[in-house]
């Protein structure tokens, strides 16, 4: 008898997710296992599309994406998850002290944020 592992519903604790954009298959698997929507994965996918795997700095590009889209509101919680070599995993939780006005912020996204999101097909081939 195969027992499925319990995975909490992290969507109850966080409004936003910044998942290390280490590769398309990594993002696909995390989206599936954490049961995140395409919208919740958008900052990670668009960062990987535009900047590639920028190691741990990709998390800040993802935060910048969310801010440039005007999604971060006062009181929102964001979970940043980063992965390293081997079994390394780090995470940080942020709470917004204010709503972000994209017109007043500087971000690497501001010059072309209106062109995002773009369609990026999922590549994961694993079976559920």
Distance CA 11, CA 34 (A): 8
Look at residues 67, 71, 74 and name the one whose alpha carbon lies nearest to residue 104.
Answer: 67
Token pair for residue 123?
């590549």
Whether 53 has a pLDDT exceeding 60, the answer reads: yes
**What pLDDT band is residue 122 in, cutting at 50, 70 and 90?**
confident
The reported pLDDT for the residue numbered 128 is 47
pLDDT tens digits along 16-40:
999 998 889 889 999 999 999 999 9
Q: In the chain, pLDDT over 90 holds for what percent of residues?
A: 62
| pTM of the predicted model as reported, rounded to 2 decimal places | 0.87
**Helical pair 58-68 and 38-51, crossing angle rounded to 10 deg:** 120
User: Reduced to 3 states, what is the DSSP secondary structure of residue 80?
Assistant: strand
Give the distance from CA 12 to its chain's centroid: 16
């Amino acid at each position: 008898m195969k027992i499925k592992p319990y995975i909490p519903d992290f969507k109850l604790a966080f409004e936003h997710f910044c998942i290390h954009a280490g590769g398309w298959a990594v993002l696909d698997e995390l989206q599936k296992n954490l049961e995140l929507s395409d919208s919740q994965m958008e900052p990670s996918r668009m960062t990987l599309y535009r900047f590639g795997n920028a190691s741990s700095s990709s998390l800040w590009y993802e935060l910048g994406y969310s801010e440039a889209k005007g999604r971060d509101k006062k009181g929102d919680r964001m979970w940043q998850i980063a992965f390293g070599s081997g079994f390394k995993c780090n995470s940080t939780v942020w709470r917004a002290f204010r709503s972000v006005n994209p017109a007043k912020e500087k971000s690497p996204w501001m010059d072309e944020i209106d062109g995002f999101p773009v369609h990026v097909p999922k590549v994961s081939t694993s079976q559920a």
